[in-house]
Amino acid sequence: NTVYVLNGPNLNLLGLREPEIYGRVTLDEIAGMLEDRALELGLAIDMRQTNHEGMLVDWLHEAQAEGARAVLLNAAAYTHTSIALLDAIKAITTPVIEVHLSDPKVREDFRHASYVGMAAAKTVEGHGPDSYRIALEAVASGEV
Ligand code: DQA
């Protein structure tokens, strides 16, 4: 019943980085909030962050190999560039939910395309840290 929560580049700086866009909540605080919610929902989370594209690919493969219930993936900027992530999501049967704090669709044009979204079972974006919670609840409810 473990849900992998995978976070991509620059999200280690959450809380400090462009707070007017991403807010002041840190990734550790999001992890704590998600752990509490997961417990209530009868799930467990495995929260990780990397600045390296290939690491995200490896972790997606691992989610499948370990029988994870689902993956919440905030691939950050790789969302908009990575065919490798698109292929990895297609290569596994574990459902992947695309997550973003901000709403990339109302930001710069180069954020409008999402390779992750092309293969993800669902996308939750624009709700700040609550995007992660909403995605977790979609797993718990069986929607994903
Ligand atoms: C982000 C949106 C991406 O466009 C951006 O590159 C990020 C964060 C978000 O959570 O809002 O780094 O994924």
pTM: 0.98
Ligand 1, atom nearest to 99 Cα: 10
pLDDT band, very low/low/confident/very high, at 143 (cuts 50, 70, 90): very high
Q: Is residue 111 in contact with ligand 1, taking CB distance under 6 Å? A: yes
Q: In 3D, which of 127, 142, 32, 35 has the Cα closest to residue 74?
A: 127
Q: Is residue 74 in contact with ligand 1, taking CB distance under 6 Å? A: yes
Instruction: Sketch out the chain's domains with CATH numbers.
Output: 2-140 (3.40.50.9100)
Amino acid at 104: P
74 is in an annotated binding site: yes
ipTM for this prediction: 0.99
Ligand 1, atom nearest to 9 Cα: 12
β partners of residue 31: none
Mean pLDDT, rounded, for 21-49:
97
Q: What is the pLDDT of residue 52?
A: 98
Angstrom distance (rounded) from CA 73 to CA 2:
14
CA–centroid distance, 18 to ligand 1, in Å, is 11
103 is in an annotated binding site: no
CA–centroid distance, 22 to ligand 1, in Å, is 8
Residue-wise pLDDT tens digits, 51-94: 999 999 999 999 999 999 999 999 999 999 999 999 999 999 99
Angstrom distance (rounded) from CA 108 to CA 98:
18
